Structure 1
Amino acid sequence: MSIPPPPVPPQPQEPQGPYQQGQFPQPPYGQPPYPQGPYGAQGPHAQPYPYQPWGQGYSPYNRPAPVNGLSVASLVLGILCCVPAAGLLLGLIALGQIRRTGERGRGMAVTGSVLSSLGIALWLLTLATGGVSDFWDGFKDAAKDNGSAYTLAKGECFDVPGGSLEGFTYDVDKLPCEGRHDGEVFAAFTMGGYPSFPGDAKVSQVAETRCYALRYTYAMDSWAVPVDVDVYYLTPTRQSWRLGDRDVTCVFGNTDETAGLTGSLRNDGRSLNAHQLAYLRAVNLGNVALDGQPAVSPGEDLRANTAWAGRVSDAFTKEAGLLRQHVWPADAKSPVSAVAKEVDSLGKQWAQVAAATDADGFYAAYGPITVEESPRRSVTARKALGLATTPPATDDPGAQEGGTGGGSDVEV
């Protein structure tokens, strides 16, 4: 047998190495099986250095396929169960991509899809059993001491960032009512009867109607409320509604944001005597009814306005009866009797307004009412009872022209 000569550096015109093609694994993607040597030839003997890093496209082992990124995202969302619908969607997309590209991650995509499906089922079960409301209650309890707008209670005073009670807010700073503050909570209620979010406009409409009526349960003597104080409200948003938020918080605030409020506006059974309470409960019946005035004129919706006039008539009639039933102190008996007589007359006139068959008839019946109102009679009775004696200013002097009735404190 012959001894082969020692190897010599290959020449450029000899591209093949000393081994036949196919003896060693062929690299993928059509790359040369070995790195280029300093002379341009290929082969394990072409390199003059003892070690050479593997070049791109070739390694001593088969390179694994990459992992599909969407499968990882689906698994993460499925485990966290924070956005189950997104986890399920990403898992299904990932499975389709893996079938087409051969990428890895099928197990993660399947697991993420299954966990996300369970998450969706859990959310649906929670909604059906009221669990979201329980979660929301737990959230409010946890946030009670952290200055959250969701935890304000009746009688509490607070500041808001920027000092404005309009727009969106979450954080509040609770303060003693004796000092300067932006708002004072006078009532709260829960919106019911809506299976889904009714929209911002409807929420605001309900909040305004209820809050204006509820103010008389907290500040019963409306004449004692400063003229620059108005009603504001904190309402659920579309996002908080999904978590079970149905609470509306009614707030007193100053129309001048830079002025704020000083001292509490509360005057109710805590500070009023029995005669004062009896008088205010009676006269506030008419005030609440007047606050229910429709937002449209009689020319636009006659039926809504005549129905409102009927409610006002009934309220004044009931008010007159309550004023006559109570046993008043001697110095208040005569002036309160005069108020009851005039309120009874107003009830009859409002009944004529309610009977109007067209807009002209509505205005014709309504006109004499504002002429006959006489706050002086109320001032006399209030003075005898120790209540505020300065009538509140009319917010809209021209409102009578549109059939909107002379103010919300027409106890005469």
Structure 2
Amino acid sequence: MSIPPPPGPQQPHGPYQPPQRHYPQGPYGPPTHPQGPAYQPWAQGYSPYNRPAPVNGLAITSLVFGVLCCLPGVGLVFGLIALRQIRRRGERGAGLAVGGSVLSGIGLVLGALMLATGGASSVWEGVREGARDGANSSLVKGECFDAPGGMLSGGTGAVTGVPCPGEHDGEVFASFRLRDGGYPGDDSVTGTADERCYGLRDTYAMDAWAVPDDVDVYYLTPTERRWSAGDREVTCVFGNVTEGANLTGSLRNDATVLDADQIAYLRAAHILNAAVESAPEAEYVEDDLPGHQAWAGRISTALDEQARSLRGHEWPAGARKPVAALAADLDRARAEWAKAAKAEDADAFYEHYDTGLRLLDPKEGVPVRRALGLRTTPPAGGGHARGDTGDGGSDGGSGMAV
């Protein structure tokens, strides 16, 4: 910033005063010009020489440093020097110099307090963490990315978006915001992320059979420091469970890539999936017979709803016969699960449970899938459904549903 030079002889402080002419004092009053009245100085008013005093440049500099708080010490020094120059030279800008000095002084006090309390290091750490984690919040549904070290849980740091057709560490399938308030703790954040992300995966990858067996759900969550900065976003992603292995191609199969008949079939299948995943925590029926009876009742209700949903859709000609056969199998299975729900003891429960499970063999859905152009190879792990089905047998989740 250039500083205007101080006024010199060519830049007077006040209005122009023309030279006075002196005449001899007459005996009767003021002196007179031989040709008229005495010459009077030019009065204050408009004049090309009536310029205001210049603004002190250091005063402006002081205010700039004070507002920006970038170098408060420099701003304070410039302000004090500017005040001395203004008094000596008759320049303007005292208010600017005072304002710059005050703001710079406040900046110095705050800086000293931050150094004394360690606040400066906390702020810098927050800036560094923001730089590391900031990219997480920019991930959007359907985007594929690489993460530092391939880590896909917690605060992974800055991630890099990459095209989905090639290899990548993760694929975003959903995101949601946690409720505002104080940081609820790592366990609470992780628990909520786990429950919500697993519940949202079917909205993106509707066909569990199209998801590779080595793919699972992960989530990126805000750290406590990011939470204090206002971050509440949880990002749900698919990733490979094998260390060092990547994903290739997009796992998306929803309304953007499926036709109406495929969606109708998969939605009907998800009705049963939801019931299967509501299994009681107790692994063995003997440990919680009432809980397993209630679970069998939910499955029976879901089977009835699924069969009605299949029969209520107008299927293409090639799919009508296999859909009808599948709906009949669902009816028979529903009857067995309904009996399991009313079983008097664990032995009776197992009897109807085993029969009902056999009627829900995943292979029964292959003819329908083939007719609709969906995947026909059942997943080895039973699809999306989590948890066992009572006695440690196969989780019929994806077999029953899709």
Amino acid at match of 2:169: D
Matching residue of 1:336: 323
Give the superposition deviation at 1:154.
0.7
Give the superposition deviation at 1:370.
2.3
Give the superposition deviation at 1:198.
4.3
Q: Residue 264 of structure 1: which of 250, 255, 259 is its match?
A: 250
Report if the CA contact (8 A) 2:132-2:157 is conserved.
no
Residue 205 in 1 paired to residue 191 in 2?
A: yes
Give the superposition deviation at 1:269.
1.2
Q: Structure 1 pair 259/207, CA: closer, same or farther in 2 (3 Å)?
A: same
Which gives a bigger RCO, structure 1 or 2 (Cα 8 Å, sep 6+)?
2
- Per-residue deviation, residues 50-109 of structure 1 (Å, max 9, x unmatched): xxxxxxxxxxxxxxxxxxxxxx9x96479769989x99xxxxxxxxxxxxxxxxxxxxxx
Q: Residue 144 of structure 2: which of 157, 169, 173 is its match?
A: 157
* TM-score, normalising length: structure 2: 0.60
Q: Structure 1 pair 157/398, CA: closer, same or farther in 2 (3 Å)?
A: closer
Residue 189 in 1 paired to residue 176 in 2?
A: yes
Amino acid at match of 2:298: R
Give the superposition deviation at 1:323.
0.3
Q: Structure 1 pair 306/190, CA: closer, same or farther in 2 (3 Å)?
A: farther
Q: How far apart, in 1, do the equivalents of 2:350 and 2:199 lie?
A: 25
Matching residue of 2:308: 321
Q: Residue 232 of structure 1: which of 218, 222, 235 is its match?
A: 218
* TM-score, normalising length: structure 1: 0.59
Q: Structure 1 pair 78/369, CA: closer, same or farther in 2 (3 Å)?
A: farther
Give the superposition deviation at 1:341.
1.8
Matches within 5 A, 1:169-188: 169-188=156-175
Residue 366 in 1 paired to residue 356 in 2?
A: no
Q: Structure 1 pair 213/342, CA: closer, same or farther in 2 (3 Å)?
A: farther
Q: Structure 1 pair 195/369, CA: closer, same or farther in 2 (3 Å)?
A: farther
Give the superposition deviation at 1:149.
1.4
Report if the CA contact (8 A) 1:158-1:173 is conserved.
yes
Give the superposition deviation at 1:338.
1.3
Matching residue of 1:131: none
Q: Structure 1 pair 247/263, CA: closer, same or farther in 2 (3 Å)?
A: same
- Per-residue deviation, residues 183-221 of structure 1 (Å, max 9, x unmatched): 0011122334x8654443343333333322321111111
Matching residue of 1:214: 200
Report if the CA contact (8 A) 2:330-2:359 is conserved.
no
Q: Structure 1 pair 237/353, CA: closer, same or farther in 2 (3 Å)?
A: farther
Q: Residue 384 of structure 1: which of 345, 368, 371 is its match?
A: 371
Residue 351 in 1 paired to residue 321 in 2?
A: no
Give the superposition deviation at 1:225.
1.2
Matching residue of 1:13: none
SS at match of 2:152: coil
Matches within 5 A, 1:299-318: 299-302=286-289, 304-318=291-305
Q: How far apart, in 1, do the equivalents of 2:140 and 2:116 lie?
A: 31
State percent identity of aligned pairs. Answer: 48
Report if the CA contact (8 A) 1:306-1:353 is conserved.
yes
Give the superposition deviation at 1:258.
1.8
Q: How far apart, in 2, do the equivalents of 1:360 and 1:78 lie?
A: 76
Q: How far apart, in 2, do the equivalents of 1:206 and 1:398 lie?
A: 18
Residue 406 in 1 paired to residue 395 in 2?
A: yes
Q: How far apart, in 1, do the equivalents of 2:223 and 2:344 lie?
A: 41
Question: What is the RMSD computed on CA atoms of the aligned residues?
Answer: 3.8
Amino acid at match of 1:275: D
Report if the CA contact (8 A) 2:301-2:334 is conserved.
yes
Amino acid at match of 1:162: G
Report if the CA contact (8 A) 1:309-1:353 is conserved.
yes
SS at match of 1:148: helix
Q: How far apart, in 2, do the equivalents of 1:305 and 1:170 lie?
A: 43
Aligned pairs, how many?
Answer: 284
